[in-house]
Structure formats: C-alpha cells, structure tokens
Structure 1
Amino acid sequence: MPGRGKHRRPRRNPITRGVVAAGTGGAALTLPLLGATQAGAAAPQSAPAAQSAPQAVQPAKSLTYTVTKGDTLYGIAEKYDVSGGWKQLYKANRSAVGDDPKVIHPGLKLKVATAKAAAGKKATPSAATPSAAAKPAGGVTRATPAAATTYADNLDGWIREALDIMAQKGIPGSYDGIYRNIMRESSGNPQAINNWDSNAAKGTPSKGLLQVIDPTFAAYHVSGTPYDPYDPVANITAACNYAADRYGSIDNVNGPY
C-alpha cells in the first residue's frame, strides 16, 4: 500500500488529442493537437471555379445598297459601320464603281458588309489598353505598349494620327481647331472636291477634308504621309502646315483660308 501523500501519476498516451494555449499578447488561442494517425492528413482543396467562355464575335452581314443623289463612299461606309471604311467599300465594289472612287452614280448597286447588327463586334478594352474618348464617332484603339499605336479609319482616327505626326514635326494645332475647320470645309468627307469656285476656274480645285489646292499641298506636304491630297492624314497635316505658316496655327482659322 503506498505511503500517505504519494500517488501514482497515470501515464499519458502521446498520441491522444489535446489542446495547448498559444500566447498572443493578453489573449490565448486554443489550438487542436492532432494525433499521430492524423498528422499527415491534408485538407481537401476546393475545385477552381469554371471560367465562362468568351462570347463569339458575329460575322458582318452583307446587304445591297442602292446609291442615291448626294451619296459618297465615305458616307455609306460611315452609315453602315463598314470595317476598313470607304477604302474597303471601294475595293469590294471597284468593278461596279470604276477607277474613280469620288464619283458614284444614283442607282448604282453596292455590296455592303455592315457590322451594325453584329453582336459583340467590339471587344471590351483591357486595363493595359484603355480606350481613348472619341469626339465625332468611333474610337481609337491603342495597342499594347510593345506595339505601335493604331488608329480608327474614321474622322476621329485621322485627326488623332495627324496630331501625332504634327507633334513630331513641330506643327501647331489642336483637335478642336482641326475638327471645326474640317466640318466647315468638307463635312468630314475626304473625297470632297470644289469644282465651282475661283480656284476651280483656274484648274486647281480644292480637295479633301480641309479643301487644299494642289500647289498648296505640294508646297506644304508633310514627309511621312502619302503624297495624295485625298488621303485624310496627308490632307490634314499639309493644311495645318500651311495654316501655321500663314496664320500661326489652324486654331486661328475660322473661315475660308
């Protein structure tokens, strides 16, 4: 019989589950201790959520358009949001239009690939490629930083591309100044031509977005742009170069120049 005051301490099994208090300042966290039979068990991981498939881009729809008086390839392309603009519309109908895209006759049948009703034709811009605000219509698509800047084939894109070239060449001018003068001179039609004023009577009709005559275009043509007064960017930059030389900037032009 054991002596008084002495008791046997029961042996503890080191594999049994218990708890231990971990000090965290003045608080105590009760943490479970796993037995040896459970020490290697891993908590199951939840399956990753399925990603939704991207929406498919619908192909452009084709229609037949009958030309009416006053129509231009530029206007028709803008109306039906033709991918590639008036140049693509002309390319698709060259056999019917002929060699001069500036002249289309009422009653002419044109095949038009319109994207007006095409679902999901514009991709959502990513964080790395923010969209620029468009003034008249459309928008400017910016490439990733590693790629070159691209511009929309519409009035907004032409003005922005011209402004970038002008900045490189040191030619002054603003978006608003260019846009205001274009709308007065040609209403945004790059194929516009004036066949009735004094310049036309002299054999040098005014041409393009900012109605530049051939001698002025030749004198103020900006290198790096096409040598074509009907080319939108070449026309804008040449006109702005001329306006800068004569008026200080296209922004100072508020009437015929």
Structure 2
Amino acid sequence: MLVPSIRGYHRLPKAHKLSAAGIAATGVVAIAFAAVPSDAHAESNAAPSVRSVAVNQAAFGGKALSSGVPQQAQSDLPRTPAVEALQKAAQDKKKAAAEAVRSEQTRAAADMQTAKERSAAQSAAKERSTQSAAKERSGKTASRSAPRKAAPVTYSDNLDGWIKESLAILKKNGIPGTYEGIHRNIMRESSGNPRAINDWDVNAVAGIPSKGLLQVIPPTFKAFHVEGTSWDIYDPVANITAACNYAAQKYGTMDNVDSAY
C-alpha cells in the first residue's frame, strides 16, 4: 500500500487529501482486526464491539464511517442489573406520580360530592324551617282571625239587670220593646217589686190576681211565656218577657202601654 509522502501530500488537491485519509483509516482498521484473536470470529457476525466502534470513531475524529459499522444506540447496549434497577425506579416513580394524580382527583371529586350533599342538606333544612315558620304564622293568623266566642254576658241582680237581660231575649225572639218603655210600665205597675201582687182589682175578685213586676195574671203568663225563661211568674226576667210578648200582640209594643192593660 502506497502512502504519499508528507511533501507530496500537501501538494494534492482537497478531494485527493480526503481519499488518502480514508485509505489510511481503512488501513488502521485492517491492522486492528488483524490483532483480534481468532476466537473472536464468532463475534464478527454479531453486532460490532465497542472497541471496533472506538477505532472507527478515532479514525474520523469521533465520527462513524458512513460505509462502516454504525454507532451503537444506548438501547442496544447490554442490559445490566444497574440499568434495569434505574429503569424500574423510573417506572415506579412514574406510576407513583400517576397514582398520586388519580388519588387527588378522587379526593377532589369526593370533596365536591360532600360539598353538594352538605349544600343540599342545608337547603332542605332551610326549606323545612321556612315551611314551619310559615305554618306557624298561618296558624297564628287563623287563630287571630277566627271568631272568638263571646264571653257570657252577666247581668246584675237588680231592676236594671233584669230589664237588660229581658231585652236580649226579646231581641233574639223578634219581640219589640225598649228599655224606657219597659222601665216606665214597671214603675207604674209594681214600683220595681218582683213579688208585688194585686189583691183588690177585678182579677183578684175573680181569683186570678195580677203578679210580678208587670202585674201579669197567671193565664196570660202561661199563654205568652217565652221559651228559655223560667216558668215562675215571680221570676223578674220571665215576667217582663211574657208581659212584653203579650203587649206586642195586643198593642204593638210595651212602649205603647200607658195604663192598665
């Protein structure tokens, strides 16, 4: 193999210089393979060794020959326990990160669901409270608007009270009469004595004397008695009411009576 002298090499064109460098490198590679023992023949059919790659790179300034053996990729290097451990650690870290993300998403979803349930429970409680308050207000309003039972009226046990109680019964039964007309006739007939009795007039002679505040004879009291009053002719309210009922039938009202009737 002829190698140009250094003086002649500097005179060659650039293309010839590159060809010469390639021939020289090929020679170096050939010498390297010659130095390999014969038992490495089996390895020649396998992937190029790291040493051959190093020689190839050294020949071309760290660059692999375009027509020679390609540079080995990192993934093609032998798998050692250390490499496998690093890869496993990386995979475990990736899985842990993914699991952490899923856990956070699950927790966030659970928190959101809890918040929704809490909000729904608060809304339901507020609605129940509003309905209860409205019902209570409605009950109070109905209670206030409901007609109250009139307290029973009490009357004094005297002439004023007897006349007022009789007037209430007369009004209830549609019988006319006024306080003034009743009071005036009572004072003329009995002077306000509910036990008064006439034992001298024609009725007394006939055996049916006039009795009570308005001097009613027993047959008239019985005929014009008003339901709800006593059957005792001396009862002040019963006597007034029966007498007014009789006067209303005969004179239109007790107010029209000015003398014995």
TM score, norm. by length of structure 1: 0.44
Larger radius of gyration: 2
